[in-house]
Structure 1
Amino acid sequence: MDDRELNAEADAILAELVGTPGARLREDQWQAVAALVRERRRALVVQRTGWGKSAVYFVATALLRRRGAGPTVIVSPLLALMRNQVESAARAGIRARTINSANPEEWETIHGEIERGETDVLLVSPERLNSVDFRDQMLPKLAATTGLLVVDEAHCISDWGHDFRPDYRRLRAMLAELSPGVPVLATTATANARVTADVAEQLGTGTGEALVLRGPLERESLRLGVVRLPDAAHRLAWLAEHLEELQGSGIIYTLTVAAAEEATAFLRQRGFPVASYTGRTENADRLQAENDLLANRVKALVATSALGMGFDKPDLGFVVHLGSPSSPIAYYQQVGRAGRGVEHADVLLLPGQEDEAIWRYFADTAFPPESQVRQTLAALADAGRPLSVPALEASVDLRRSRLETMLKVLDVDGAVKRVKGGWTATGAEWVYDAERYARVARQRAAEQQAMRDYVGTTQCRMEFLRRQLDDEGAAPCGRCDNCAGAWADASVSSETLTGAAKELDRPGVEIEPRRMWPTGMPALGIELKGRIPAGEQSSTGRALGRLSDIGWGNRLRPLLAENAPDGPVPDDVLKAVVAVLADWARSPGGWAPDVPDAVQRPVGVVAVPSLTRPELVGSLARGVASIGRMPFLGALTYVAEDGAHAARRSNSAQRLKGLSQAFTVSAELADALAATPGPVLLVDDYTDTGWTLAVAARLLRRSGSGEVLPLVLAATG
């Protein structure tokens, strides 16, 4: 078959795929299809969102399957995109299935369908690649039978990319095991020159140079702008007053789950049909939210990066960011959701004063120091058996998410291996590439500075973003607020502003108690394991706010910053804490007399001793006691010698190790508890892991107190 016949066949498949008779591949799309089908090459396609990358791999799949090739395997981190693509493929008669964390009950059935040749496309989430069963049983079969391998969001392969994911590095093994002549397609919309070269090198390893097809990243439908407003209340008020002016339906991105929930609650109060979409959203609710946006039943999804790029709605009319992402490349990726199938879409950034504090909070992702890596390898080697991540926490002072990421990188490097029951050391020689890790850290810092520059630039905004992606054709767009003049009105009415401020000032967040001791404590000489006895647990507590929210979080972050001076609790903060207590008393299970099944009212207040903020915590505890007309019973006594109870962002086992012997109940406090039987309020400045409150509650309960009700200024989650 010559090129003309192959091209005609490809166009016919595209017409079925998009449901448009006469649809034809563009020349650049055809070039990619031909490279895969005719030349069986490995190719990297870097093209703007909406270019039609999925059309390339679905058309190529249909052509290859007609010629006897095995199924296409698509690796993608985007569950929402997977759902969209399964539906799209069906229109062209392509049978697509997906294996991811949301459908484990279907995996066995899908495996059978693949073995029987009943599946044309298998979409796999990257974390499956490092699942022991999938890696050892399914991956070799796929590598042997795959007709086309597609790597979606390929920038995730590179640790220079803004969204590096270690699970993606497992693809190296699959690439090496593919049968000769199996084509590979990697796609992304957000890769600068460094990332492009890195991904292309990984794709072409052992097979010659990979073909790179890179197009201009201009998005002619997008009109970019920045609206600077004085505080979070103004930004919420702006949304409420101007959301209806934005065309169609769209996405409002926030930096944190708390901010998404706050914005959703306020916009619903103002009558807008909106839905929240975050990492805490249940899968069924996510699916409902996606469908509601696709059908324009909601004005917007208020989303964190959990939505990511994984949403395919060509007529999305706007993207608004309530806070700046830490990278202009990540920002370009998210705004690229809008305007794919419409001539005009508005993109607005509403930066906040809290943005950089939030960047810092979530920046604990750098590769750990060599001492901690070596400590992990030694613990695995000494164990002589597989160790789970919770078991490793007893030996390595790293938070669980960071420890898991480190293990995945070491797995790809060959230093450890994931097996049934956990992780083992391979014994292979491993070199700590300090220079590379430092360069990556500098790259992240440069990205943050570039985002600051984007907010303040007087040059074309689209050109700025394209230059960040090394787009050689970058030129002024003529549409953004810097090219054509400000087009978004920054005004808000006093009535809406008052309502927004009231919403953000609403105090009170529940604190769930710890119910299980961490795994591995006996190995540290601490005999705590299993479930915490009910009579030694704290009760559900309350915090004034979360450090990650845009309401009280903005007020509390400066107060609780590491370098903040100690001092009495501010009057407005104490007043808000009292409001939290009043609301708590009236809630189900509270102690207000008119509450059904009311419990006993707290009879006293106990403070957690603070090395860094003794005046703040002491004045808070005494203030609550005075206003609540309860006795201040005293504080626990701090007895550790090394500052072990000072908060650190470590894992649960290490945190509890430092806290287990940090406090004691003095004779005076024990006497006060005995003389005042009943529930007590336990007051501290903030809670991070929850272990300080758990240890303190256990001590108080064992010393004769009634229920322990934690009350803190802030929760970090």
Structure 2
Amino acid sequence: MGTMNDPGLHAEADAVLAELVGAPGGAARLREDQWQAVAALVKERRRALVVQRTGWGKSAVYFVATALLRRRGAGPTVIVSPLLALMRNQVESAARAGIRARTINSANPEEWQDIHAEVERGETDVLLVSPERLNSVDFRDHMLPKIAASTGLLVVDEAHCISDWGHDFRPDYRRLRSMLAELPPGVPVLATTATANARVTADVAEQLGTGAGEALVLRGPLERESLRLGVVRLPDAAHRLAWVAEHLDELPGSGIIYALTVAAAEEAAAYLRQRGFTVASYTGRTENADRLQAETDLQENRVKALVATSALGMGFDKPDLGFVVHLGSPSSPIAYYQQVGRAGRGVAHADVVLLPGREDEAIWRYFADSAFPPEEQVRRTLAALAEAGRPLSAPALEAAVDLRRTRLEMMLKVLDVDGAVRRVKGGWESTGRPWEYDAERYAWVARQRKAEQEAMREYARTTGCRMEFLRRQLDDEGAAPCGRCDNCAGGWLDASVSAEALTGAVKELERPGVDVEPRRMWPTGMAALGIDLKGRIPAKEQAAAGRALGRLSDIGWGNRLRPLLADGAPDGPVPDDVLRAAVTVLADWARSPGGWAPDVPDAGPRPVGVVAVPSATRPQLVGSLAQGIASVGRLPFLGTLAYTGAHAARRSNSAQRLAALSAAFAVPPEMADALASSPGPVLLVDDYTDSGWTLAVAARLLRLAGSEGVLPLVLAAAA
């Protein structure tokens, strides 16, 4: 390539790199592929896709290219990344090289106009934008056209997210397809990722090249010489937690312990803190300020580990991260490789340990709600928008389409990019353009997800090289035995745990009790379904905050309750251990602030009875649970609410769920008489709560019948 023989440009690029890494005047030099990418962007103004392992230095390519392009009069670089909160280190490095970066995200809308003015004045070199901003109406219609017209380089970070063939497809990224097509001629584009197999690489390269000629693809080997991979198979969640506690001090440096769910991460973090370890949890529930503190603490080795969900996935930059442990298998070996790639970037050795669990597949199924909806539901959505003749919000659409909010919004974003709908002020509107349902593609993606799950099972049980296995999953042509993993070099992981650690883990996991927050607002759009409920639920019709033994997504009581509540599980009396745990939860609840035990300050009134929610599938389980609690608590069992035969699908959205439940129950006359004669709160017992609408509807009926309060107690909460 001609650009490879430009010594002046090469020397200038190396000088910028030296400033980036904090060694001005030093001997820093771009790798061959880094230089090839920089040269293609700066001199040829091409579009390039860089697929290289984590830690290879993809950010160096776009910051060096930015500096060189800006010197040559180009506009600012626009970086689209889902990892803005995790790019602080790269931005600080850029500042060392005199590159000024600003960020546009949902947290700083008041700064957007000032930032845009800075861009127009040439004061900003890099503009970092989250993919979600691309679908914001104001940003898309007013700022994006100006930014696209003036940009000197477009960078698509984590570019595998563009492709719905990939393991981490994100609908917001589809907007980039339009942005790529609308860029002025000669604007270079760089797409980067560490996790793309051949199919995803080809798909992204094709999209990059749309209308701009063939994209340059630079794909390097994905081998990570520093990583030592191993798997430890243990009988249950308690053994896995105990193993971590037993062996955490043996793992090098500080690292990350991944869990599959928020509940599991919080359980594990609590247990490890009890065992004396300095750890912090990092999940989708963690407040932003706490996330920043946790990241800083790990960067500066003030904690041994972050116990994290996939919320800490791509982009975390700690070169000396010494280990990654997984409490449970991710559902994709490509996602797994991405997460373990956080370790060993700047150290010679790092340990990677997978502790697979029997409950992993149940958790995969629980979260497998991201497939594109069936054609009938898509057509119904399009028809509802066309018939409305005005914009409809996602909550309003729930009254017409039986999809959960997250899945509905994902579908609408895809339809938006496909041109069938448009996001506007007030929601979504139909464009009237024809749209074809690509059933073959969606079915292929669904099959691909299943194939990835099977590959993850195979990774855990393979007797071959584990690093080679992962590299082959990414179609890495140079995949070969690593010589370091437990299968290549012999087992290096001791599977033993002490009785003390196991006892502590069992105690942590067997402690029942989580809060269940009540519903306080009716869903939007119920009038369209013929139901006169809207706005805030009156306080005198609400349930109180309730309790559950556990969440179906946790690794403690979730493991015990999932088989009991699984679809098709036989009905029967509540097991003794489950009843004892429910009684423990009730006793702890009574003694908690606001409880009703005699020794609780400002205690509330003691429950005057127990009421069961009717169950079409588990009447024996719910009935025996309610009667058992009544017997142990020496409370009258007031009976079961009458069931009118209405049915509601568990996985439907709030509006549809409430519509099906609104007339499903009634208070029998004898129960109403008991409530009138014994003023006070009642315990409302059910097996499971997901959306919370069964409890809300039942509580409203009981309150309207005279109960002074309703205290929900269920076996399991969904999440």
Give the TM bin, normalised by the shorter chain.
over 0.9
Q: AA paired with 2:499?
A: S
How far apart, CA to CA, are the structure 2 residues paired with 1:251 and 1:98?
Answer: 27
- Which one-letter code corresponds to 1:314 in the other structure? P
The Cα of 1:110 is off from its aligned counterpart by: 1.9
CA distance in structure 2 between the partners assigned to 1:102 and 1:219 by the alignment: 36
- Tell me, in whole angstroms, the C-alpha distance in 2 between the residues paired with 1:41 and 1:102: 33
Match status 1:13 vs 2:16? yes
2:476 alignment counterpart: 471
The AA in structure 2 aligned to 1:242 is H
- In 2, the alpha carbon distance for the partners of 1:138 and 1:445 equals 40
Moved more, 304-313 or 692-701: 304-313
1:201 maps to which of 195, 203, 206:
206
Q: Give yes or no for contact 1:640–1:661 (8 Å, CA) kept in 2.
A: no
Q: Quick check: 1:242 aligned with 2:244?
A: no
| In structure 2, distance between residues paired with 1:651 and 1:88 | 45
Match of 1:661 among 642, 660, 663: 663
Contact conserved, 2:167 with 2:332, CA < 8 A, in 1?
A: yes
Conserved in 2, the CA contact under 8 Å of 1:605 and 1:621?
yes
Cα deviation for residue 82 of structure 1 reads 2.3
2:327 counterpart of 1:322: yes
2:594 equivalent in structure 1: 589
Is the contact between residue 563 and residue 569 of structure 2 (CA under 8 Å) also seen in structure 1?
yes
Q: Deviations over 1:195-225 (max 9, x none)?
A: 0000000000111111100000000000000
Residue 706 of structure 1: how far off its partner (Å): 1.4
1:390 CA drift (Å): 0.4
Q: CA deviation at 1:81?
A: 2.6
State yes or no: 1:280 paired with 2:285. yes
* Partner Cα distance (2:112, 2:607) in 1: 51
Question: 1:593 Cα shift?
Answer: 1.0
Under a length normalisation based on structure 1, what TM-score does the superposition of the two structures give? 0.99
Q: How does 1:110-189 map to 2 (within 5 A)?
A: 110-189=115-194
* Partner in structure 2 of residue 493 of structure 1: 498
Displacement of 1:650: 1.1
- Preserved contact between residue 80 and residue 311 of structure 1 (Cα < 8 Å): no
Task: Trace 1:336-351 onto structure 2 (pairs within 5 A).
Answer: 336-351=341-356
Deviations 1:55-77 (A, max 9, x none): 00000000000000000000110
Is the partner of 1:49 in helix, strand or coil?
coil
Give the match's secondary structure for 1:640.
coil
Cα deviations across residues 454-484 of structure 1 (Å, max 9, x unaligned)?
0000000000000000000000000000000
Aligned length: 714
SS in 2 for 1:134: helix
CA contact (8 A) 2:610 2:630 kept: yes
Deviation at 1:324, TM superposition (A): 0.2
Q: How much has 1:9 moved relative to structure 2?
A: 0.5
TM-score (norm 2): 0.98
C-alpha distance in structure 1 between counterparts of 2:439 and 2:137, whole Å: 29
1:672-704 Cα shifts (integer Å, max 9, x gaps): 212222110000000000000000000000000
Task: Give unmatched runs, 5+ long, in structure 2.
Answer: none
Indicate the residue corresponding to 1:685 in structure 2.
687
SS in 2 for 1:374: helix
Does the CA contact (< 8 Å) of 2:84 and 2:128 recur in 1? no
Q: Which amino acid aligns with 2:399?
A: A
Alpha carbons 2:283, 2:310 under 8 Å: kept: yes
Q: CA deviation at 1:105?
A: 3.9
Aligned residue runs from structure 1 range 287-306, under 5 A:
287-306=292-311
Is 1:210 equivalent to 2:210 in the alignment?
no
Is contact 2:283–2:312 with CA below 8 Å preserved after alignment?
yes
Distance 1:105 1:353, change over 3 A: farther
The residue that corresponds to 2:315 in the other structure is 310
Query: Equivalent residue for 2:713?
Result: 711
Matches of 1:313 and 1:37 in 2, distance apart? 29
Distance in 2 (CA, whole Å) between partners of 1:115 and 1:632 is 72
* Larger displacement relative to structure 2 (76-85 or 516-525): 76-85
The question of 1:544 aligning with 2:544 is answered no
Structure-2 separation of matches of 1:456 and 1:183: 44
**Matched letter for residue 516 of structure 2:** I
Q: Secondary structure at the match of 1:694?
A: helix
| Residue 592 of structure 1: how far off its partner (Å) | 1.0
Distance, in Å, in 1 between the alignment partners of 2:319 and 2:112 is: 31
**1:113 aligns to what SS in structure 2?**
helix
Instruction: Return the offset for 1:98.
Output: 1.2
> Equivalent of 1:76, from 73, 76, 81?
81
Query: Aligned-pair RMSD on alpha carbons?
Result: 0.9
Q: Which one-letter code corresponds to 2:705 in the other structure?
A: S
Query: Is contact 1:149-1:183 (8 Å) kept?
Result: yes
Shift of 1:173: 1.4
Name 1:331's counterpart in structure 2. 336
Q: Distance in 2 between matches of 1:463 and 1:690?
A: 46
Return the letter of the residue paired with 2:400. Answer: S
Give the structure 2 partner of residue 64 of structure 1.
69
CA contact (8 A) 1:82 1:123 kept: no
Contact 1:76 1:82 in 2 (8 A): no
Answer yes or no: is 1:190 the counterpart of 2:195. yes
Q: Which amino acid aligns with 1:369?
A: P
Aligned to 1:631: 636
Mapped contact 1:78–1:308 kept (Cα < 8 A): no
Q: Does 1:258 align with 2:260?
A: no
CA distance in 2 between counterparts of 1:611 and 1:269 reads 42
Provide, for residues 509-557 of structure 1, a one-character-per-residue CA deviation record: whole Å limited to 9, x for no partner: 0000000000000111100000000000000000000000000000000
Match of 1:376 in 2: 381
Find 1:676's aligned residue among 678, 681, 684.
678
Alpha-carbon distance in 1 for matches of 2:659, 2:240: 43
- Aligned to 2:87, the other structure's residue is in SS state helix
Once the 2 structures are TM-superposed, how far is the Cα of residue 91 of structure 1 from its aligned partner?
1.3
Greater shift in the superposed pair: 80-89 or 46-55: 80-89
Provide the C-alpha distance between the structure 1 equivalents of 2:643 and 2:475, rounded to a whole number of angstroms: 55
Specify which of 219, 233, 241 is matched with residue 238 of structure 2: 233
- 2:6 aligns with 3
CA distance in 2, matches of 1:367, 1:6: 47
The answer to whether the 8 A contact 2:84-2:129 is kept is no
Alpha-carbon distance between aligned partners in 2 of 1:102 and 1:556, rounded to the nearest angstrom? 39
Per-residue deviation at 1:615? 0.1
The superposition leaves residues 261-292 of structure 1 with CA deviations (integer Å, 9 ceiling, x where unpaired) of: 00110111111111111000111111111111
